[in-house]
A and B are shown apart, each in its own frame.
Chain A
């Protein structure tokens, strides 16, 4: 007689049920967004939602491009997020290298103080930030947003890179320097490649911060030509009788870059969590 361990069977069933539940809860809304974006309006606006309908078209995406300024917002978001990411990598790498490789007074205080500012939410400083930017002439300018995103992702980025630099033995670059490489060369050819997972994690983090931000863009940008995707999308939603198909098409377009970026570097991000973001 076959001996079945019913407890084992039950826990396996529970396990797969739970996994299925996670997949449905997290995945279904996104699937629904994609489905809605490629459906004809008559299927979208039916009181009984259609789960299996095989009639699809790209009309909503075409409308999004032809009838709205979505492509302008997309271009703005890409340039602003891209610039902020590059700037953050540069500034955070310099700072993290300085903190891990040189001894100077107040080093730990500065590092700790920077991390502390990670807890500051934009809403806490948006009022003075706006006034500051206005007097600097950076309202309605992409540069103002680039500065905002760079500054707000710096504390976390620096902290993360610090953890990566700390884990790279100092002997490595000393060896390179003994062999005649300049310090700059040693850092560029030895240290940065080894800290690449950290650099990638920082770039995804900054890119997503900039790509998603709503508050800074809302407050600093009025000009339609300068709007980023989040405020452009919000204004589209509020401006018209909601064209759900087109809104979902917009949603897909905004989500794809973030998702692609994320899937490419997912494991580095989790590694980063282990290394620096969470201690202990």
Chain B
């Protein structure tokens, strides 16, 4: 690695040339704009413009392939709010979002606390704990279908052999929501571990020493020393996790697709996809995307307001 140290730089002999006739350089601000232009163009063109376009589409009745395109005002939204399936997808989305984020935080923070302790093989276990996050989603889902398979799956077999989980069909209608929450927790909790662990490592050990001197036990040290230090990190992590889980498509879709079982995990992103690419109603799909988008913005604003007040983030 060719890291140049300050000393080395200064050791280069001075070769300053006077260039009297050289025209003045471009102003500083022009350089700034030029350098940032490609990034801004990409984000504007491929993220922000689609969001605006989505707003326009949501006001139109548009077919995915046929040249049907009529202005319907808020008609798409009206029929969306009148659609029982839409409300059902919101409810399932809330169960999935709250369930999986809650479990991820619980498991992730516990694991981070444990991995912050000193024990033999810590580096190895830390590496292993991040594995699930690195496995591509499609592999996670197919692997879990194999592990949970009702005839040959290893997990049902193990559970039966210790006498619990008799006849649980993990991938059937009754349990599929629980299963998809557990699978999501398995693959995404390392995200929480990474963030929490990074923060835990920067907590001043003297804080614990002082608390110990004051006679605080393990639990009280956690509540009064660790938790306040973790607040900011958890704030960001919960916010991001909730936003990601609320809009999660691939795990759920890969598990069930548009199959009958999939009806029991048809959250808003899945329903949006089915409306757009299955039923080919682009306008209706765009209306649901816009609704999702607005919900996320509202959620973020409330969240920021509540936590910012006493945190000064």
Flag if B139 contacts A214 (CB, 8 Å). Answer: no
Flag if B43 contacts A154 (CB, 8 Å). Answer: yes
> Who on chain B is nearest to A237 by CB?
B142
- Given A180-B14, A180-B17, A230-B138, A280 contacting B232 (CB threshold 8 A): yes
Does B72 belong to the interface (CB within 8 Å)?
no
Contact of B111 among A22, A196, A233 (CB under 8 A): A22
Closest chain A CB from B29 CB (angstroms): 4
Flag if A251 contacts B249 (CB, 8 Å). Answer: no
- Given A29-B147, A107-B32, A233 contacting B14 (CB threshold 8 A): no
Does B162 belong to the interface (CB within 8 Å)?
no
B interface footprint on A124-167 (CB within 8 Å = 1, 0 otherwise): 11111101100000000000000110111011001000000000
- Given A49-B154, A121-B247, A262 contacting B134 (CB threshold 8 A): yes
> Who on chain A is nearest to B132 by CB?
A26
Closest chain A CB from B179 CB (angstroms): 14
Main secondary structure of the interface of B (DSSP, over half): helix
Does A203 belong to the interface (CB within 8 Å)?
no
Contact of A255 among B38, B136, B190, B276 (CB under 8 A): B136
Does B77 belong to the interface (CB within 8 Å)?
no
Q: Interface size class for chain A?
A: 35 or more
User: Among residues 230 to 280 in chain A, which have CB atoms less than 8 Å away from a CB atom of chain B?
Assistant: 230, 233-234, 237-238, 244, 247-248, 250-251, 254-255, 258-259, 262-263, 266, 269-270, 273-274, 277-280
Flag if A193 contacts B2 (CB, 8 Å). Answer: yes
Q: Which B residues are CB-close (under 8 A) to A262?
A: 130, 134
Q: How far is the CA of A99 from the CA of B253 in the complex (A)?
A: 39
Contact of B39 among A12, A25, A36, A114 (CB under 8 A): A114
Does B87 belong to the interface (CB within 8 Å)?
no
Does B81 belong to the interface (CB within 8 Å)?
no
Q: How far is the CA of A211 from the CA of B313 in the complex (A)?
A: 34
Stretch at the interface among A52-60, A62-70, A171-179: A171-179
- Given A19-B114, A234-B138, A125 contacting B50 (CB threshold 8 A): yes
Closest chain B CB from A81 CB (angstroms): 11
Contact of B292 among A26, A124, A255 (CB under 8 A): A124
Q: Which B residues are CB-close (under 8 A) to A211?
A: 136
Flag if B38 contacts A94 (CB, 8 Å). Answer: yes
Q: How far is the CA of A27 from the CA of B134 in the complex (A)?
A: 12
Does A123 belong to the interface (CB within 8 Å)?
yes
Flag if B139 contacts A254 (CB, 8 Å). Answer: yes
Flag if A123 contacts B272 (CB, 8 Å). Answer: yes
User: Among residues 120 to 148 in chain B, which have CB atoms less than 8 Å away from a CB atom of chain A?
Assistant: 121-122, 125, 127-132, 134-139, 142-144, 146-147
Q: How far is the CA of A238 from the CA of B137 in the complex (A)?
A: 16
Flag if B42 contacts A150 (CB, 8 Å). Answer: yes
Q: How far is the CA of A44 from the CA of B144 in the complex (A)?
A: 15
Flag if B127 contacts A125 (CB, 8 Å). Answer: no
Flag if A189 contacts B144 (CB, 8 Å). Answer: no
Does A78 belong to the interface (CB within 8 Å)?
no
Q: Which B residues are CB-close (under 8 A) to A129?
A: 46, 50
Q: How far is the CA of A277 from the CA of B240 in the complex (A)?
A: 11
Flag if A254 contacts B117 (CB, 8 Å). Answer: no
Contact of B16 among A44, A180, A193 (CB under 8 A): A180
Q: Which A residues are CB-close (under 8 A) to B13?
A: 179
Does B181 belong to the interface (CB within 8 Å)?
no
Closest chain A CB from B311 CB (angstroms): 9
Does B99 belong to the interface (CB within 8 Å)?
no
Flag if A127 contacts B143 (CB, 8 Å). Answer: no
Flag if B136 contacts A230 (CB, 8 Å). Answer: yes
- Given A46-B152, A175-B10, A119 contacting B240 (CB threshold 8 A): yes
Q: Which A residues are CB-close (under 8 A) to B225?
A: none
Q: How far is the CA of A22 from the CA of B233 in the complex (A)?
A: 22
User: Can you list the 8 inter-chain pairs with the closest CB atoms, starting with the nearest?
Assistant: A98-B35, A102-B32, A121-B247, A280-B232, A104-B29, A104-B32, A95-B39, A180-B15
Known: A117-B48, A127-B289, A131-B53. 5 other contacts (CB 8 A): A123-B272, A127-B57, A193-B1, A214-B250, A255-B136
| Cross-chain pairs A/B with CB under 8 angstroms, 6 sampled | A15-B114, A94-B35, A127-B282, A127-B286, A131-B57, A262-B130
